[in-house]
Structure formats: structure tokens, C-alpha cells
């Protein structure tokens, strides 16, 4: 029996005295089609998988059925014995108790996946969606891809175009590292307990190198952060204190952009060109 069978999942939780913990963002998946879809799309056959937050093991079992090796990192120590129970039929899984935000993924991969491409797969706890995504992307091409279920609202931001209301600093930060595709939306009724919002599965195909060349990456992201911190201001005004309004306006003119533009209108490549000029 699979853990997407609600009566089986409830029996497992009852047997181990598990009540889903809000503070850890525990909403367990119950729809077998969604679980299979995520497990199918998240990686190529030859990949090893890192799962963040296996919960009671619902997605983990689908991953173990498809891939050679799965390492699952779970912060909630009360779930470790549950996972030992629900995953006892698999010999290709290793559960690690720990906080994914604090883990050194270089060391983890060197230890568990030598010579193997690795993909990340997770139904993420929503309280740390953005920091976890940014942490994983900062490793660059260490991961081949990162497939995550997140709030639809955040997925819309990551896939939005310049000029739209959802477009922001995180859109640019993610697009600097990965090509993002939406896989599917998932309604709250597909989880126990149901979350308050609709979810979306996205797959981030990690780029071997950024899509734009820039002299100073840190400066690029400083400019982007300042541009969106006060998004109602013109870009020149938002950057005035640190970079000088006149210098910004003349740099914009050099790249054929109106000097009174707002930051939300600029593409990643516009920001890169601007960053090199000021
Ligand atoms: N994968 C399971 C599923 O799809 O049913 C559970 C997903 S649930 C939304 C999120 C899981 O992440 C929970 O098991 C939670 O305890 C775990 N978690 C929360 N914060 C974490 C962290 N910082 N590091 C690792 N796991 C974490």
C-alpha cells in the first residue's frame, strides 16, 4: 500500500503518534497522480536524488522506485522512526536528520553521490521557500535540476516577465542561475492537512553558466535589490544614494533606456549592462 492512501497514512501517523507540525510546514501529499508526476519529471534516470523534507515518506517512496539512490533530509526528529518504518522496503534510501538550510551540500554529494549527477526534489515547507531555493541555486551547477512544490504565488513570481506586478528581485536572482518551468498547480485538497493556498510544482534546470555576462556579480545583485526595495521610484532615484542619480541616468541613456524608467521594466541583461556601466 502507498502512503497516498489516506487511511494508510493516517494509520501510520496514529501508530507513531504523529500530528502534522505547523512550525515545520508539514502538509503531506495525498494525491498519487501528483506524487508520480513530481517523481517522473524531477530528474533523468541516471541521477541520484536529494529530497528535502520527506515527511512520512510519501514522495520518497515514489523516488526510490525510480532512481538508483535517494538521500532525504528531515528536520523533525519525530519523523525519523516513521521513515525507518515506511521506507523499510527500500535499500537505496538514506534518511538524514538535519536542517537543509544548514547543510553543506558539497560534502553531502561527495559522500553519497560520487561521480553521479544529482537532482533535488521536494514538497517544500512554505515557511522557508525562498531562502531554500536561493541556497540551492547558489551552488550553481552542483545540481542538475531542482524540482519543488511551492506556493503558487511564489511560482508566479519566479516565472514572471519584466514589467509585470509579480516581477521582482527573486525573479532575476533565480533566472540568473536556472531556466524555470511550471509543471502543474495543486489544490489544497491534495494534502493533509490542507494548506491555505494553491501550490505549484516548478522545475529549475540549473544553467552551466549565467545567461548574461557581468563584471561584478555582487554589484549586479546590489543594484537589483535596491531597484526593487523601492519599486515605485524611478530606477535613478532608487539607486541615487549609492550610485548617484545622474550617473545612473546617463548609463541608462547609453544603453538606450529612458532615464526615468522604473527598475521593474528592466530585463536581467539590461541590469547586467547597467551594472557594468555605473
Ligand atoms: N515530502 C512530504 C510530502 O510531500 O508529503 C512532506 C512535505 S512537507 C510540506 C515539508 C517537510 O519538510 C516536512 O516533513 C518538514 O518537517 C520538513 N522540513 C521543514 N523544515 C525543514 C528543514 N529546514 N530541513 C529539512 N526538512 C524540513
pLDDT at 94: 98
pLDDT surpasses 90 at 181: yes
Q: Domain total for the chain?
A: 2
Q: Of all protein residues, whose CA lies closest to atom 18 belonging to ligand 1?
A: 53
**C-alpha 21 to ligand 1 mean position (Å):** 10
Tell me the CATH number at 163: 3.40.50.150
Q: Is residue 91 part of a domain?
A: yes
**C-alpha 28 to ligand 1 mean position (Å):** 9
pLDDT digits (tens, 9 = 90+) for 192-228: 999 999 999 999 999 999 999 999 999 999 999 999 9
pLDDT at 213: 96
pLDDT at 224: 95
Distances in whole angstroms, Cα of residue 221 to Cα of each of 208, 227, 229:
19, 10, 12
**C-alpha 56 to ligand 1 mean position (Å):** 9
| Assessment of whether the complete model's pTM goes beyond 0.85 | yes
Q: If pLDDT is split at 50, 70 and 90, which confidence band does 131 have? A: very high
Q: What gap in Å lies between CA 181 and CA 178, rounded to an integer?
A: 10
Average per-residue pLDDT in the chain? 96
Q: What gap in Å lies between CA 108 and CA 255, rounded to an integer?
A: 44
Ordered alpha helix ranges (H), the chain: 6-15, 32-41, 58-66, 80-86, 105-112, 129-138, 152-158, 169-177, 217-229, 235-243, 245-254, 268-277
pLDDT digits (tens, 9 = 90+) for 94-113: 999 999 999 999 999 999 99
Regarding whether 100 and 185 lie in a shared domain, the answer is: yes
Residue 75, ligand 1, Cβ within 6 A: yes
Q: Which of 124, 5, 126 is nearest to 58 (CA)?
A: 5
The residue from 157, 178, 206 where one domain ends is 206
Rounded average pLDDT over 31-44: 98
Residue 25, ligand 1, Cβ within 6 A: yes
Query: Which element (helix H / strand E) includes 115?
Result: none
pLDDT digits (tens, 9 = 90+) for 224-267: 999 999 888 999 999 999 999 999 999 999 999 999 999 999 99
Residue 191, ligand 1, Cβ within 6 A: no
pLDDT digits (tens, 9 = 90+) for 143-155: 999 999 999 999 9
Residue 61, ligand 1, Cβ within 6 A: no
Regarding whether 200 and 64 lie in a shared domain, the answer is: yes
| Residue that the C-alpha cell 508566479 belongs to | 156
Cell readout for 159 is 516565472
Regarding whether 239 and 105 lie in a shared domain, the answer is: no
Regarding whether 165 and 79 lie in a shared domain, the answer is: yes
Neighbours of 257 (CB within 10 A): 17
Q: DSSP of 99-110, one letter per residue?
A: -TTT--HHHHHH
Cell readout for 106 is 558539497
Q: Is residue 63 part of a domain?
A: yes
The residue from 147, 180, 206 where one domain ends is 206
Regarding whether 107 and 223 lie in a shared domain, the answer is: no
pLDDT at 80: 98
pLDDT at 231: 82
Residue-range definition of the domain harbouring residue 254: 217-277
Residue 223, ligand 1, Cβ within 6 A: no
Residue 27, ligand 1, Cβ within 6 A: yes
Q: Which of 133, 136, 140, 135 is nearest to 159 (CA)?
A: 133
pLDDT at 230: 87
Which atom of ligand 1 lies closest to the CA of 122? 1
Q: Positive or negative CA dihedral for 158, 162, 168, 174?
A: positive
Residue 170, ligand 1, Cβ within 6 A: no
Which atom of ligand 1 lies closest to the CA of 195? 9
Residue 151, ligand 1, Cβ within 6 A: no
Q: Is residue 211 part of a domain?
A: no
**C-alpha 127 to ligand 1 mean position (Å):** 10
Regarding whether 117 and 192 lie in a shared domain, the answer is: yes
pLDDT surpasses 90 at 170: yes
Tell me the CATH number at 224: 1.10.8.100
Q: What gap in Å lies between CA 70 and CA 50, rounded to an integer?
A: 6
Per-residue DSSP letter, 142: G
Amino acid at each position: 500500500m502507498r502512503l497516498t492512501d489516506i487511511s494508510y497514512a493516517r494509520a501510520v501517523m496514529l501508530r507513531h503518534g504523529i500530528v502534522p507540525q505547523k512550525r515545520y510546514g508539514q502538509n503531506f501529499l495525498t494525491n498519487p497522480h501528483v506524487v508520480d508526476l513530481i517523481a517522473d519529471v524531477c530528474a533523468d534516470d541516471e541521477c541520484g536524488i536529494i529530497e528535502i523534507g520527506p515527511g512520512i515518506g510519501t514522495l520518497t517512496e515514489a523516488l526510490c522506485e525510480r532512481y538508483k539512490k535517494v538521500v532525504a533530509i528531515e528536520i523533525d526528529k519525530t519523523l525519523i522512526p516513521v521513515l525507518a518504518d515506511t521506507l523499510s522496503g527500500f535499500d537505496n534510501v538514506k534518511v538524514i536528520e538535519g536542517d537543509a538550510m544548514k547543510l553543506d551540500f558539497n560534502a553531502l554529494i561527495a559522500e553519497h553521490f560520487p561521480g553521479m549527477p544529482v537532482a533535488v526534489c521536494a514538497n517544500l515547507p512554505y515557511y522557508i521557500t525562498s531562502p531554500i531555493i536561493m541556497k540551492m541555486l547558489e551552488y550553481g551547477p552542483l545540481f542538475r535540476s531542482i524540482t519543488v512544490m511551492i506556493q503558487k504565488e511564489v511560482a508566479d513570481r519566479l516565472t514572471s516577465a519584466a514589467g509585470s506586478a509579480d516581477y521582482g528581485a527573486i525573479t532575476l536572482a533565480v533566472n540568473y542561475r536556472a531556466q524555470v518551468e511550471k509543471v502543474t498547480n495543486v489544490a489544497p485538497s491534495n494534502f493533509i492537512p490542507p494548506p491555505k493556498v494553491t501550490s505549484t510544482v516548478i522545475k529549475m534546470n540549473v544553467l552551466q553558466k549565467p545567461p548574461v555576462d557581468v563584471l561584478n556579480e555582487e554589484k549586479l545583485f546590489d543594484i537589483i535589490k535596491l531597484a526593487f526595495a523601492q519599486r515605485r521610484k524611478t530606477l535613478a532615484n532608487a539607486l541615487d544614494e549609492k550610485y548617484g542619480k545622474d550617473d545612473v541616468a546617463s548609463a541608462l541613456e547609453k544603453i538606450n533606456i529612458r532615464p526615468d524608467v522604473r527598475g521593474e521594466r528592466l530585463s536581467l541583461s539590461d541590469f547586467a549592462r547597467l551594472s557594468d556601466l555605473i
